[in-house]
Amino acid sequence: MPNSAIDYQTIFAHAPIGMCVSERRIMQVCNLALARMFGYQQEELNGQSFQLLYPTQDEFERTGARIVPIMNVKGIYSDERIMRRASGELFWCHVTGHALVPQDTHASGIWTFEDLSEKRRASAVLSPREREIAALLVEGKTSKLIGKQIGLSPRTVEMHRANLMKKFAASTSSELVHRLLGITQAEPV
C-alpha cells in the first residue's frame, strides 16, 4: 500500500454517517450525509443553529441544558431523540457529541447523527415532553431517574408514561418500550 498523506477533509465530507463541527451550538461545517439525512444542502446548514434540526425550540433548549452536566464529567454525550427534517417529518436519530473544550460543553464539539427511522418510526401525535420522556424510556430509565434528569416529579413522569401507553395501545411499560423501539409495529391511536 502506498504511503500517502491521509486527506481528512475528504474523509469527513464523504463519511457514511452524518457529522458536523459546532461552536456554541452553531453548525460550523457539516458533511454530505448530515445534509441528506435532514433534507438540506450543506450550505444551508453551515452557520445555522442546531435548533433548525429540533421539533421545537423548547426541545432544543432542554436538550442543550441536559447534556451539559454529562459532558462536563465525561466529555462525550450520546442519546436517541426525535429530530426534524427540512420537510417537517419527525424521525428518531442517534446523536453523539464530543466536547473539544473541557468544562465548556458548547464551546466547540464534534457531533455524529445516525438516522434510525428504518428501525424505529416517530409519531407526530406526541407532545414535545412525551417525545423527551419516550427517548429516556427507550434508554431504560425509571420514572424517578427521568424526573430527576429533566426536573419533573416522578408522578408527572408517570402521567406522561400513562399517556404514551394509551397512545401506543400498550398494556405494560415493557410493551410500550418495544413499540417505541419499533419491535411491535402497532400504530399509535
pLDDT given for residue 179 in this prediction: 76
pLDDT given for residue 187 in this prediction: 43
| 141 neighbors 149 (Cβ within 8 angstroms) | yes
Q: How far apart are CA 125 and CA 134, in angstroms?
A: 12
pLDDT given for residue 93 in this prediction: 94
The whole model's pTM is what? 0.70
pLDDT given for residue 182 in this prediction: 67
Query: 160 is written with which cell numbers?
Result: 406522561
Side-chain-facing half-sphere of 75: CA atoms under 13 Å: 3
| Sign of the torsion angle spanned by Cα atoms 108, 64, 76, 78 | negative
**DSSP characters for 11-51?**
HHHH-SSEEEEEETTEEEEE-HHHHHHHT--HHHHTT-BGG
Q: What is the pLDDT of residues 111-165, one digit of tens each?
A: 999 999 887 666 657 788 888 888 888 878 888 988 888 888 989 988 888 888 8
List C-alpha distances in Å: 157 to 2, 81, 180.
58, 17, 16
Q: How far apart are CA 82 and CA 162, in angstroms?
A: 20
Q: How far apart are CA 69 and CA 103, in angstroms?
A: 9
Strand partners, 90: 84
- Residue 113 exposed, middle or buried by CB count within 10 Å (0-12, 13-18, 19+): buried
pLDDT given for residue 72 in this prediction: 87
3-class secondary structure, 119? coil
Q: With a cut of 50, which residues of the chain have pLDDT below it?
A: 1, 184-189
| 71 neighbors 52 (Cβ within 8 angstroms) | no
